[in-house]
Structure 1
Amino acid sequence: MDKFRTLFQHFQCSSELVMNGICLLLAVVTVKLYSSFDFNCPRLACYSALYGLGLPPFSSAASWPTGSQSVVMVEEWRRPAGHRGKDPGIIRFMFSSVLQRALAAPLVWILLALLNGKCFVCAFSSSMDPDKFLDFANMTPSQVQLFLAKVPCKEDELVRDSPARKAVSRYLQCLSQALGWSFVLLTTLLAFVMCSVRPCFTQAAFLKSKYWSHYIDIEHKLFDETCTEHAKAFAKVCIQQFFEAMIHDLELGHGRGVLAAVSAGSAAPTATDGANEEREKLHGITDQGTMNRLLPCWHEGKPPLRLSQEEPLVGDGWAGGGSQPSRKEVATYFSKV
């Protein structure tokens, strides 16, 4: 389990390109898993469109923004200013990163669904114009609507051997694949334009937002790890004190005999060194009240980002800002992929 956790943390710390690739790969896998099940169209005019368009792409889009980076972004947006001001550029950069990962899965879903054509046939077979096909001349309007609704089902007796079903299905599949390849071309051209236009903008604001965005993400993780380590050390010291007190009470109540030997064994140098090490991890915070006051202070008044007292602090609490540039900096937050 530790190896998987370490591998997951390594991927989390990787570049945006690697994370976007992982999201795309997972999206393709989920599409393959979904398509491996039997696709049964409802064959009802009022439900086929909803089923064909599909809720899975939207559910996959909603799954990615629930990651750790989106939580950090919301916390940074909603937290009080305290001793550290909030930079809107950092929040925009984090939102851009979350949005790119959130859109990766539904875009892959839409592309593969259009190239496959089954969902498109199910969604739009009932809305086809029967005048485009010659085989519907001898049917009543109600029979035409029933026939078009059953086009996605190859095994239905009404449309199994009908050439009209093949014509409608082939027409919709060709239209779906044309839209799919057009979608690929449009996405490729859009990515090319973004990569070409990006160097024309000033990159100083972008680099600053990217750096402090990474800092906030790492700070959030380190704070959680420190809290976990402190809670673990606090629990160990409390348990050790409990057993030492119990042994002392037992010694007073039943004499020093065997219990004295147990007490002597518990006071061995190794145990004492371990207790001192755990106490050092507490950083002097040894009671519940102090810890309860410390945690709100971290949320309400983040410490200013200044490691050296000689360095002047910027007005918004972000160290290293220096003098503000006279010209307006414009940052672009779209990905290279």
Structure 2
Amino acid sequence: MEHVLKYLQSTSESTMNVICGIVILIAMKIFITFEFKCPCLPSFNRIYGLGAMVLPPLIFFLIGVLINKYTIMLLEEMVRPPGPREKNKAVSKRFFISMMVRALAAPIMWILISLLDGKFVICAFSESVDPEPFLSLSNATGIDVALLLAKIPCKEMEPLRNTTIRKAAARYLKFLSQAIGLSTILLFIFLGAMGRVVGPLFSSPASVQARYWACYSDMEQKYFEEACIKQNYDYADDNMKCFFESYAKSRRKTPSSSLGEMEVFAEKRDFYPVPYPDHLMKILETWCECKPAVAIRTNEAPF
């Protein structure tokens, strides 16, 4: 367990993968516990079915974009002022791809599960079923056909309750839904395998260097935050030592001094003896402009 925690803390990419997995598990849990009931009304089934299939993935996508660290890194790279480090589109593209891959994981999982389950498709497209294969429905006309088709997803509603017609139509729609879902999964597996096998054959030095500098920017941000924490710790430690030393001196001079007297003493005395805060603030203000220059050189050897 200790080795796992060390690995997850080694890179922010590993942490983002864990967060992505947690969001996927939450999406699956919500899907399992979500009580879906089709309205079984003409012209409402499609809106409700497609809404239940599309709106939750959209919400999960927005959440994935908001909690994604690569979103912040991409925005910072886009809005930072020009300085020694030139802006590089390859690095920004790398950040964008990393952000989209992790943000789309939970929505795609929701859509695939909904296709394999089939209830959303049955509700949304029950009115699109051709009534000809179902002989009992072909005799109805006008609004009766639309109403009967709209009631296919509802087992408890008359006149299709526990009838072979309803079961056959629902089975047909579920078959189409699962076929689309399985085909999509196979397509993703095939594209992933092709990308893994064929991708390195077309990998250029520019793409390798872009991946390197994207990782470098990630680690640079991590160590910058750690440096800020260390600096804050040292600064707070110096100020707390100064505070207690000054309080001890005031107690020796005036043993009967109260807390109010100590507050007056604190107002008269400067408890910030560290000489570098103002200089440090200027450094932080110009951090984006003073980053060391890095560049991707496609026409030169990296070493």
Q: Report the TM-score range of the alignment, normalised by the length of the smaller protein.
A: 0.7 to 0.9
What per-residue deviation string (whole Å, max 9, x for no partner) do you get for residues 50-109 of structure 1? 334242222222222331122112212221121211221111112122222222222222
Q: C-alpha distance in 1, partners of 2:11/2:299? A: 36
Corresponding position of 1:175: 176
Corresponding position of 1:263: none
CA contact (8 A) 2:160 2:166 kept: yes
Q: CA deviation at 1:222?
A: 1.2
Structure 2 counterpart of 1:303, one-letter code? K
Structure 2 counterpart of 1:121, one-letter code? I
Q: C-alpha distance in 2, partners of 1:195/1:8? A: 23
Residue 289 of structure 2 corresponds to residue 325 of structure 1 = no
What per-residue deviation string (whole Å, max 9, x for no partner) do you get for residues 284-334 of structure 1? 62x3x33332211102x1332xxxxxxxxxxxx226x6x7518xxxxxxxx
Corresponding position of 2:249: 248
Q: C-alpha distance in 1, partners of 2:115/2:176? A: 9
CA contact (8 A) 1:125 1:172 kept: yes
Q: C-alpha distance in 2, partners of 1:50/1:103? A: 18
Q: C-alpha distance in 2, partners of 1:6/1:195? A: 27
Structure 2 counterpart of 1:12, one-letter code? S
User: TM-score scaled to structure 2, two decimals?
Assistant: 0.79
User: TM-score scaled to structure 1, two decimals?
Assistant: 0.72
Structure 2 counterpart of 1:30, one-letter code? A
Select between 75-84 and 187-196 the one with higher mean Cα deviation.
187-196
Judged with a 3 Å threshold, the aligned counterparts in structure 2 of structure 1 residues 180 and 92 are, in CA distance, closer, same or farther, namely same
Corresponding position of 2:125: 124
Corresponding position of 2:31: 34
Corresponding position of 1:12: 12
What per-residue deviation string (whole Å, max 9, x for no partner) do you get for residues 134-169 of structure 1? 222343432332322222222234432232211210
Count of residues in correspondence between the two structures: 281
Judged with a 3 Å threshold, the aligned counterparts in structure 2 of structure 1 residues 221 and 24 are, in CA distance, closer, same or farther, namely closer
Q: C-alpha distance in 2, partners of 1:3/1:253? A: 55
Judged with a 3 Å threshold, the aligned counterparts in structure 2 of structure 1 residues 303 and 188 are, in CA distance, closer, same or farther, namely closer
SS at match of 2:254: helix
Corresponding position of 1:294: 283
* Structure 2: gaps (5+ residues): 258-272
CA RMSD in angstroms, aligned pairs only: 3.3
Q: C-alpha distance in 1, partners of 2:111/2:216? A: 35
Judged with a 3 Å threshold, the aligned counterparts in structure 2 of structure 1 residues 32 and 255 are, in CA distance, closer, same or farther, namely closer
SS at match of 2:284: helix
Corresponding position of 1:195: 196
